[in-house]
Structure 1
């Protein structure tokens, strides 16, 4: 079980403040959904949790320990996996090589996404957008991370594959945080913590069912 949180977090990009004292908690095992339009701060929250952007104020707390000063690569070694929206796979490597960077056991990834099996010897950069997202998410599944952060996990996927992806992420024994523009219909009936962000601030915090009422 793992829990990760932001406490009064502020992030600046030059003179612009992207997060205005954001406080949120993502409990695990379980699913937390960050909602918001482009520019709302949801992607910045993921990167702040991962350590790939620095806080200008506040803290990142992981299982009760302040990890604000812990570099991103050390957070990864401790069991945090970030799947960004862009550049989530190594385009010059094959699908097999991409998966092999995470685990020598490819079976779980191919069971999750059988569509990847005939693509194993293809370079990841030649895949469609949906296929690249499948590859990126399958690497997160193989990582067996304690905290999994995924930005727009189903971008480019068919509705059937998207539903399967949400099922896979929801079933992980980890703290899973995903960022989406809207609450996916398939998640409305599932237990999930939801935060809605607008212009760098939290405007809603509650359960998925509360948001849809």
Structure 2
């Protein structure tokens, strides 16, 4: 079983602290969602897991080993893939060339997103936003990653494509962590995932909710934390705890 975690993680951008000692854990196989508005720290948390931003304190732990000092390219070599919100495809290359960078056999990409087969000769930069997200995700799926981190996976997609995307992500035999502003409908109503989805809500660099996504309701009276038994997500933003 794979687990990727942040432990009392702090990240600073110059004089500003973006993460205030957060702790969270994403087990596998399974889907974990980091929720929060712009500026909440969800994207920074994703990048900290990937190693593209350094921690100023705390640790990144993968399968029990501290990988805080392991550079992003080495984490990628070990099977971690990050799909950022922007610049996730090579715009000057064709769809086919983008996919072939990941694997020579493209059939799994077309099984995931049949629309891509008709776009093989198009340059990726000419695709719509939703099509570019499909391409970026299809390329990541071809790598058969052990850990897949995705920022805004369904941005620009139709509701049908978005639901399909979450069904694909939830069905992977991998540790999958996504960052979203709101809980996607496909996860809220349980149609995309056969197993419980873990959710963390971030606000101003702190975790204000952790538990199963089905437990989170937009009109809850106050932030609360209810980790699943056996999955042990920590919700304390206080690094001294």
TM-score range, shorter chain: over 0.9
Q: Deviation at 1:194?
A: 0.4
Which residue among 175, 182, 203 is the counterpart of 2:208? 203
Per the normalisation by structure 1, the TM-score is 0.99
The answer to which structure has the higher helix fraction is 1
Q: Deviation at 1:111?
A: 1.2
Instruction: Number of aligned residue pairs: give it.
Output: 213
Q: Deviations over 1:37-72 (max 9, x none)?
A: 000000000000000000000000000000000000
SS of the residue corresponding to residue 23 of structure 1 reads strand
Gaps of 5+ in 2: 221-241
SS of the residue corresponding to residue 61 of structure 2 reads strand
Q: Deviation at 1:140?
A: 1.2
1:51 and 2:51 equivalent?
Answer: yes
* Rg larger in structure: 2
Counterpart in the other structure of 1:164: 164
Per the normalisation by structure 2, the TM-score is 0.87
Counterpart in the other structure of 1:101: 101
Give the alignment's Cα RMSD to 1 decimal: 0.8
Counterpart in the other structure of 1:192: 197
SS of the residue corresponding to residue 176 of structure 1 reads strand
SS of the residue corresponding to residue 136 of structure 2 reads helix
Aligned-partner Cα distance in 2 for 1:139–1:3:
23
Q: Deviation at 1:198?
A: 0.2
Q: Deviations over 1:98-154 (max 9, x none)?
A: 000000110000111111111101110111100000000101111101100000000
Q: Deviation at 1:2?
A: 1.2
